[in-house]
Structure 1
Amino acid sequence: MPGGSFEAYKNIEDTLLKVAAQVPDSGPCVTYIGEGGSGNFVKMIHNGIEYGDMQLIAEAYDVLKSVGKLSNEELQSVFSEWNKGELLSFLIEITADIFGIKDDKGDGHLVDKVLDKTGMKGTGKWTVPQAAELSVAAPTIEASLDGRFLSGLKEERVEAAKVFKSGGFDEILTDQPVDKKKLIDDVRKALYAAKICSYAQGMNLIRAKSIEKGWDLKLGELARIWKGGCIIRAIFLDRIKKAYDRNPELANLLVDPEFAKEIIDRQSAWRRVVCLAINSGISTPGMSASLAYFDTYRRDRLPANLVQAQRDYFGAHTYERIDMEGSFHTEWFKLAKQSRS
């Protein structure tokens, strides 16, 4: 993802085109990103999206294993099957592989012996402050980062589990029988829908920074070069490229006609999975944050009017009205006092 001097890029372009990953019908997975630090920024957001992707996959695994009681053999089969359809990607592929590896130092599968404590090198972590600086909502990526922070509290979580278990609060709150086939299909749909939201947030971050810096980044072209040689490479990126090809000024992937239809078709399953997880005491912060993002974005009226009224009450921050132009301030305390007397 080279950025900086275009003249410098042209001097090494031939070499980069040869060493870059090659994707049939798409070409070399490299392009000149833009001026200044645009290449570094795009790489950083790529890694933030990667955090979200991995978190969502882990949540799908948790629901299938903890609620659906799928064995590692069944999980391998499920993820292998998923990798033949809309979820086809490097991360789904390696996840299926992981479930098939036996422990060479003991009995059982290796994945069950891996400490549930996720590390990080920082690039995904840098994405969240950028979202705050740019005032761009990125709740799925933020949830994935919080998930890593909480995973790092292993010793505290072990002690917390003892406290709540002694109070009769089991790790899994319900042990209800589930239709495995139905659950697997619902989780697949939920994972795909949540994934759309995660990528939408990442693309919006790139657009906002591009506007701020005047980089004129081409989001469809970025999706193209991510199709090979990247951790988030996936068939899904073809859909993203086509969405931006159809409308380079697309405000959000969620409102692309094809993606909108796909989310509508999957939202019922998505809600079932999140509700099942909540009722079972299984944390799905990424899927839940993605669903909240979707539900917030699709509504033309939010309870933000109350928050703004509160701000005007205690800080005279003023507010706008829906029925007339201008900025207004109300003496809320005085009126409330009069109404109580």
Structure 2
Amino acid sequence: MEKFSIGMIGLGTMGSNLMLNMADHNHSVIGYDKDPLKVKTLKAIPNYTNIDATVDISEFVSKIQKPAKIILLVPSGPIVDFVIKDLVPFLQKGDIIIDGGNSFYKDTDRRFNELKEIGIHFMGMGVSGGEEGARTGPSIMPSGDPEAYDQVKAILNDVAAKYKDLPCSRYMGNASAGHYVKMVHNGIEYGMMQLIAETYDLLKNGLGLGNDEISDIFTKWNKGKLSGFLIESAAYVLLQMDQTNGGHLIDFIKDVARSKGTGKWTSQDAMDLQVPVPTIDMAVIARDLSAYSNSRDKISSYNKKASIKDHDLEIKDVESALLSAFALTYIQGLHLIRVASRAYNYNTEMKDVVNNWREGCIIRSGLLENFEQVYMTDGFDGMILSDEEIYKLVAKHMPMLKKVVLFALQNDFGSSAFASSATYFNMMSTKLSPMNLIQGLRDLFGAHTFERTDQEGTFHHIWK
């Protein structure tokens, strides 16, 4: 019996699309799902002789070439553990399990270590690009031990998106590095979407533009440095018409946004590692705040908001502000990955992270070219804002970012992501901060000690 080169567990849209992508690249794939309908649907796809599917997990494993290579595309959390528990009795030492979902990186580390004890390789693999990306070429962020990666590298490179003919599937490092990088990718995505939403708010309710006009603006911006999937998608969303009531669909969508955890995980881990990511933090907070719609309705009735005052804010100012805030959101996320790589012994190459995001993923944009150039420089191993060219790129647009923030504050717009981006830049580029006073206060009331500018060591002052 001819055996399949790889297996797929989870035959939802993502799993099925990735299977077809693999089959298109001449890889034979067998799928497994407990849902007979999903299995039947996949088997009914015409013109694919190199795919199959089953509801029998024993049959599934027996039909895969050894060492078995199995990708899981199931919801993150306990379901992953349940699937692994069902799968392990049919595996042998040297087999490889690859979790392609959005699992929390600490869960991935636990699974990595538990399976290592019984001789089974476990890989955490971030996948970005959604349903379309899975079918035509996603951004893939694999990690785990190099031995396992080497055995699946060719398949991943074949199905990944390509940038300048190079696959966006570089190895991210040890253990859970792939899921960590994908987590931060999603955190950056949170920040960028919040900035786009605030831009939409300012253009519509500040400058009085209609949905079609804003869509045209986004389409124009998508041809320049702001080009990317999210700007392109925002232009598309704003044009969609509602089939029920007529008019633009966007005007009938409730203004409450929810999250699935990756943005929150990014903020939490950044705080644990003491890495500032304020734009991402505010994007998470903005979603949480939006959920209090009843309270917002009541409180807004007290607010006698004045009409927009005369101003000199122009569309080009908003474009520049968005460019600098996008850049600062990337900078925050990349800083976090760099610190985490050292803290968790990932040994992640930052140039590979940026390369993986150039095509196929949700946060791809023209700005990544600037970061990639820096990381390709021999010897660069710092925070990327410390690179002079990156600093100049952001600083060039800072006057317009400040202009937008002032307009938002003066006219009662909740532009928290824009404001936090500007404040981050100001604080990060300030030689002397006011934290000396905080250290003095801490020593006064808690004897926490402080460091001095003129001597080495720690000191305590008798304040009385």
TM-score by length of 2: 0.68
CA distance in 2, matches of 1:281, 1:304: 30
Residues 317, 400 of structure 2: 8 Å contact kept: yes
CA distance in 2, matches of 1:150, 1:328: 42
1:36 is matched with 175
Residue 364 of structure 2 is aligned to residue 233 of structure 1: yes
1:337 is matched with none
Letter in 1 for 2:151: N
1:16 is matched with 156
Question: 1:155-178 deviations in whole A, cap 9, x for unaligned?
Answer: 11112112x14xxx22xx442244
Deviation at 1:248, TM superposition (A): 5.2
CA distance in 1, matches of 2:195, 2:420: 10
CA distance in 2, matches of 1:235, 1:80: 14
1:86 is matched with 225
Letter in 2 for 1:106: N
2:260 aligns with one of 93, 108, 121: 121
Q: 1:246 to 1:109 in 2, by over 3 A?
A: same
CA distance in 2, matches of 1:251, 1:284: 30
Q: Which has the higher contact order (CA 8 A, sep 6+)?
A: 1
2:427 is matched with 296
Helix, strand or coil: the match of 2:451? coil
Deviation at 1:247, TM superposition (A): 5.4
Letter in 1 for 2:363: I
TM-score by length of 1: 0.92
2:212 is matched with 73
Residues 220, 248 of structure 1: 8 Å contact kept: no
Helix, strand or coil: the match of 1:57? helix
Deviation at 1:61, TM superposition (A): 1.0
Work out which of the two has the higher radius of gyration on C-alpha atoms and give 1 or 2. Answer: 2
Q: 1:146 to 1:26 in 2, by over 3 A?
A: farther
Instruction: Give the unaligned 5+ runs of structure 2.
Output: 1-140
2:327 is matched with 196
CA distance in 1, matches of 2:378, 2:434: 31
Residues 196, 254 of structure 1: 8 Å contact kept: no
Name the structure where strand makes up a greater proportion of residues: 2
Deviation at 1:250, TM superposition (A): 4.1
1:175 is matched with 308
Letter in 2 for 1:176: K
Helix, strand or coil: the match of 1:33? coil
Residues 227, 366 of structure 2: 8 Å contact kept: yes
Letter in 1 for 2:297: V
Residue 444 of structure 2 is aligned to residue 305 of structure 1: no
Instruction: Choose 208-217 or 318-327, whichever is displaced more.
Output: 318-327
Deviation at 1:74, TM superposition (A): 0.9
Q: 1:39 to 1:142 in 2, by over 3 A?
A: same
Residues 64, 183 of structure 1: 8 Å contact kept: no
1:318 is matched with 449
CA distance in 1, matches of 2:146, 2:458: 46
Residues 196, 253 of structure 1: 8 Å contact kept: no
Deviation at 1:263, TM superposition (A): 1.8
Deviation at 1:60, TM superposition (A): 1.0
Helix, strand or coil: the match of 2:458? coil
Question: 1:86-122 deviations in whole A, cap 9, x for unaligned?
Answer: 1000000000111111111113211111100112111
Helix, strand or coil: the match of 2:376? helix
2:237 aligns with one of 98, 119, 122: 98
Aligned length: 324
Deviation at 1:195, TM superposition (A): 1.2
Name the structure where helix makes up a greater proportion of residues: 1
Residues 26, 224 of structure 1: 8 Å contact kept: no
